[in-house]
Chains A and B, each alone.
Chain A
């Protein structure tokens, strides 16, 4: 089983829609969780951290379920500019901060 798994998509949604991505991780000792966004042929950029209590940043809401070992990202009122690949990231504390990137979920927001 892969350490971090995501639905590859693509998710094709109309402008204004609400879309949710899920991510599962296999190691229960995982400590930190993030969502990154990667535009086509660009570098990944940190979108938001994910906290145990859940957190919101404008139209974006991230949640963590440690018992079930999954993370979610909800995007409300989708914009064309939200079209990108969303990477789920999990960190393990070993001799260093082992950072594991999921393969990404592709989102296309359609006019």
Chain B
């Protein structure tokens, strides 16, 4: 059982480049979310989805897009990378109605230079 799989694990981008962070889960969870984690800031919600075809903004959505065409996949797109987007990105999923009991992916460490 793979759980939540994120790729890539590490990425270096130049300012202005775009890229997609992949996230897939095999637990049939309805809720999926993207968080970024910065030192001293805790985890901050970027975008979330409550089911296929439904997405919405979280706390820090600017500069990111998401889509949810299937239950399993929830990619995060950086439109034009900026140094402020240097962070660790986590994808997480949970069954509908379970509150905060999330399963996290192993993270993507992104550096924008």
Contacts and interface: CB of A to CB of B under 8 A. Distances in A.
Interface of A: 4, 8, 31-34, 42-46, 49, 87, 89-91, 95-99, 101-104
Interface majority SS (helix, strand, loop, mixed), chain B: strand
B42 A102 contact: yes
Output the residue of A46, A101, A102 with the most chain B CB within 10 A. A101
Contacts of B56: 95-96
A101 B60 CA distance: 14
Given A42-B106, A43-B105, A97-B31, A91 B41 contact: no
A43 B101 contact: no
B104 A45 contact: yes
A64 to B, nearest CB: 13
Nearest to B40: A103
B45 interface: yes
Interface of B: 31, 33, 35, 40-45, 48, 50, 56, 90, 94, 97-107
Interface majority SS (helix, strand, loop, mixed), chain A: strand
A31 B44 CA distance: 19
Given A31-B99, A90-B100, A96-B50, A43 B90 contact: yes
A102 B99 CA distance: 16
Contact of A104 (B42, B94, B101): B42
B42 A87 contact: yes
Nearest to A101: B43
Nearest to A102: B42
Contacts of A87: 42-43
Contact of B42 (A31, A46, A96, A103): A103
14 contacts: A4-B42, A31-B99, A32-B99, A44-B43, A49-B101, A87-B43, A91-B99, A91-B100, A96-B48, A97-B94, A98-B45, A99-B45, A99-B99, A104-B42
